[in-house]
């Protein structure tokens, strides 16, 4: 048996097409164009790629997207002033501060200063609290966890009740929120991490496995329950001497080459979760615009 490859690019394109239709309708019927402002501090190459991809998709589907580039050594007060301006701007419905920020800036402080109604990353403590309370209809949900659940439902259907879900990793960005979302889908949900004993035992019970710990090819194929649905969030760059001297390639947290013969379905790396993250960000911007405009 070879696992079904879960094509994140194709599913993200479906989300984008749906959003494009919604935005066109909002423009024509409500004179409303959802707006996203992205703040990029410094010149981190990976961050620049992410921001460029977000801006490209925003333009394609009809969002109004602006980008604010600040130098690496910007004073924290200048960044705070910019956020205050964006919070007060009625044409800006979503604000995203690209992480990581330089070491001299307190990232937690900055994220707390974003209006939670415009916090399209879903990182503000108010949105975290709403999610943990099960009030997902009021929260803005972190984009990668939302994309993971969308992929799982695309594969398994909308009813996940009673399935065993195991999340590897406990970060505030992916691990904890995706576990909360799976709990709210009535999965029996376990979080495992670097201190978990007999981690293979827990992984072997999972009907749904979400790997987000940041260790290349950590999960081996013989740990996995046959037929399990595997969501690999990891993006790790490793040496690839077979491609030539100094060459590298991307791999996930799951050993794809062995897992693909055991799992029922698995996301590739790249091309799995990554495109879904950007699509769900766009979804959050539209959701935020509707709520701020008191539209259903």
Q: What is the pLDDT of residues 44-77, one digit of tens each?
A: 888 888 899 999 999 999 999 999 999 999 999 9
- Is 126 inside a domain boundary? no
- Whether 181 and 229 map to the same domain: the answer is yes
Our answer to whether residue 54 is catalytic in this structure is yes
Q: How far apart are CA 50 and CA 279, in angstroms?
A: 12
- Whether 62 and 110 map to the same domain: the answer is yes
Q: What's the pLDDT at 126?
A: 98
Residues of the domain holding 68:
33-116
Residue pair 186/221 in contact (Cβ under 8 Å)? The answer is no
For residue 213, the domain's CATH number is 3.40.50.720
- Is 49 inside a domain boundary? yes
Our answer to whether residue 98 is catalytic in this structure is yes
Whether pTM exceeds 0.85: yes
Which residue out of 98, 155, 180, 283 is catalytically annotated? 98
- Is 50 inside a domain boundary? yes
Which residue out of 121, 207, 253, 255 is catalytically annotated? 121
Nearest to 286 by CA among 120, 126, 135, 130: 120
Q: Spell 108-119 as b/e; 16+ CB within 10 A means b.
A: eebbebbbbbbb
Q: How far apart are CA 115 and CA 130, in angstroms?
A: 14
What share of the chain has pLDDT > 70, as a percent?
Answer: 100
Tokens encoding 248: 């590298």
| Number of domains within the chain | 2
Q: What is the pLDDT of residues 18-50, one digit of tens each?
A: 999 999 999 999 999 999 999 999 988 888 888
Lowest mean pLDDT among 153-167, 231-245, 269-283: 231-245
Residue pair 164/205 in contact (Cβ under 8 Å)? The answer is yes
* Residue whose entry in the numeric block shows the structure tokens 């960005």: 173
Our answer to whether residue 81 is catalytic in this structure is no
Q: What is the pLDDT of residues 254-266, one digit of tens each?
A: 999 999 999 999 9
Which residue out of 54, 118, 176, 225 is catalytically annotated? 54
Q: What's the pLDDT at 133?
A: 96
- Whether 169 and 253 map to the same domain: the answer is yes
Q: What's the pLDDT at 170?
A: 96
Q: What is the pLDDT of residues 122-159, one digit of tens each?
A: 999 999 999 999 999 999 999 999 999 999 999 999 99
- Is 24 inside a domain boundary? no
């Amino acid at each position: 048996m070879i696992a079904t490859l879960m094509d994140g690019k194709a599913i993200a394109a479906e989300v984008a097409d749906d959003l494009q239709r919604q935005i066109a309708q909002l423009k024509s019927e409500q004179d409303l164009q959802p707006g996203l402002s992205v703040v990029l501090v410094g010149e981190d190459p990976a961050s620049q790629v992410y921001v460029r991809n977000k801006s490209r998709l925003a333009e394609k589907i009809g969002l109004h997207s602006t980008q604010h580039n600040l130098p690496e050594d910007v004073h924290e007060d200048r960044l705070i002033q910019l956020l205050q301006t964006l919070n007060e701007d009625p044409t800006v419905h979503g604000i995203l501060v690209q992480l990581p920020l330089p070491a001299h800036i307190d990232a937690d402080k900055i994220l707390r200063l974003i209006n939670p109604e415009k916090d399209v990353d879903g990182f503000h403590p108010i949105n975290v609290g709403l999610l943990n309370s099960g009030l997902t209809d009021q929260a803005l949900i972190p984009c990668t966890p939302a994309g993971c659940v969308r992929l799982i439902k695309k594969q398994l259907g909308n009813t996940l009740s009673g399935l065993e879900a195991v999340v590897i990793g406990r970060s505030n960005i992916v691990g904890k929120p995706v576990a909360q979302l799976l709990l709210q889908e009535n999965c029996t949900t376990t979080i495992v991490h670097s201190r978990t004993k007999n981690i293979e035992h827990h992984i072997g019970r999972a009907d749904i496995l979400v790997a987000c710990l940041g260790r290349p090819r950590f999960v081996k194929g013989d740990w996995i329950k046959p037929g399990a649905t595997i969501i690999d969030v990891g993006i790790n760059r490793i040496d690839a001497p077979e491609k030539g001297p100094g060459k590298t390639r991307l791999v996930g947290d799951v050993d794809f080459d062995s897992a693909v013969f055991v799992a029922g379905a698995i996301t590739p790396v790249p091309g799995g979760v990554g495109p879904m993250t950007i699509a769900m960000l766009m979804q959050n911007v539209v959701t935020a615009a509707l709520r701020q405009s008191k539209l259903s």
